[in-house]
């Protein structure tokens, strides 16, 4: 089988699930999805109580995976690893997947909330700066009347200690959570999900990063035309230059060079979990 294409029958952790086709982008298996098919796969997982985590992955995540095999394994074991950035979509289309489109974390969050609005599905928020999760809860409850947001937890800027972990587990169990949303940063949120998937009584976990700040109204989003043209990184760099300049000015050129080597078959990237 060409390493540019692979059909995955499981989420990588041994749990059965619907077949998910993936495209190899520098050794990371990006799920061949669009927003509609992503929501359908999540709905099926909720309805069948199939546990898994969803990584929304763009240039930053794929670049981090180049020097961190353990992180690459986390991405490749995800229930879904969605094409969060337009370069992921372009790589998928170059491999022949014309139906593939961007599944952007903030958009996915809204569509899943829209799907859950009239269903007995319970959400939980984990992450964000103090106050963000509460603002996000109020914003989404106003936007989607009837949604069930069962709890929020603002973690410290360090790993949870034993007491904090026990408290989180207790809250999630009592809240009877279906969908657990993680608003940290990459790769922190992906590592958290991989570590806590079996510890928390929730069905599907999502790492959506800045979506918490966007939907809480704390940080502006790039215009749609910039998102669709692959320029969202430039918008965010202009808004947060001190925090993001190293990420974008290092990762973006490296990604372009590596992608060129893969597309021209000058270098092969192994796709393994």
Give the chain's domain count: 1
Give all strands of the β-sheet with 179-183 in edge-to-edge order.
80-83, 52-57, 204-207, 179-183, 122-127, 148-153
* pLDDT at 10 exceeding the cut of 70: no
Q: Please provide residue 193's backbone torsions phi and psi, each rounded to the nearest 5 degrees.
A: -60, -45
At residue 15, the pLDDT reads 47
Residue 152 lies in a domain: yes
At residue 13, the pLDDT reads 46
Q: How far is CA 242 from the centre of its chain?
A: 24
Instruction: Look up residue 122 and give its two tokens.
Output: 């319970």
pTM above 0.95, yes or no: no
At residue 139, the pLDDT reads 96
Residue 5 lies in a domain: no
* pLDDT at 69 exceeding the cut of 50: yes
Residue 271 lies in a domain: no
**Distance (Å, rounded) from C-alpha 208 to C-alpha 108?**
9
* pLDDT at 11 exceeding the cut of 90: no
Residue 215 lies in a domain: yes
Residue 268 lies in a domain: no
Strand partners, 8: 20
Residue 90 lies in a domain: yes
Residue 159 lies in a domain: yes
Report residue 162's pLDDT band, with 50, 70 and 90 as the boundaries. Answer: very high
At residue 40, the pLDDT reads 96
At residue 8, the pLDDT reads 40
At residue 129, the pLDDT reads 86
Residue 3 lies in a domain: no
State which residues form the domain around 256: 10-263
């Amino acid at each position: 089988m060409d390493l540019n294409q692979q059909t995955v029958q499981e989420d990588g952790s041994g749990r059965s699930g619907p077949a998910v086709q993936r495209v190899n982008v520098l050794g990371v298996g990006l799920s061949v999805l669009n927003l509609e098919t992503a929501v359908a796969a999540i709905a099926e997982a909720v309805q069948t109580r199939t546990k898994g985590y969803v990584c929304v992955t763009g240039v930053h995540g794929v670049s981090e995976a180049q020097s961190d095999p353990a992180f690459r394994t986390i991405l490749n074991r995800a229930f879904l690893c969605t094409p969060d950035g337009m370069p992921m979509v372009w790589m998928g289309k170059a491999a022949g997947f014309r139906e593939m489109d961007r599944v952007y974390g903030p958009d996915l969050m809204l569509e899943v909330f829209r799907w859950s609005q009239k269903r007995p599905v319970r959400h939980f928020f984990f992450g964000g700066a103090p106050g963000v999760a509460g603002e996000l809860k109020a914003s989404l409850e106003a936007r989607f009347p009837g949604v069930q947001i069962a709890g929020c937890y603002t973690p410290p800027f360090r790993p949870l200690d034993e007491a904090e972990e026990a408290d989180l587990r207790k809250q999630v169990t009592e809240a009877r959570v279906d969908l657990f949303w993680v608003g940290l940063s990459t790769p922190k949120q992906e590592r958290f999900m991989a570590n806590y998937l079996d510890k928390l009584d929730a069905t599907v976990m999502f790492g959506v990063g800045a979506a918490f700040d966007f939907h809480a109204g704390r940080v502006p989003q790039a215009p749609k035309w910039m998102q669709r043209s692959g320029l969202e990184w430039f918008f965010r760099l202009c808004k947060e230059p001190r925090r993001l300049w190293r990420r974008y000015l290092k990762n973006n050129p490296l990604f372009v060079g590596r992608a060129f080597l893969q597309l021209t078959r000058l270098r092969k990237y192994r796709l393994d979990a």
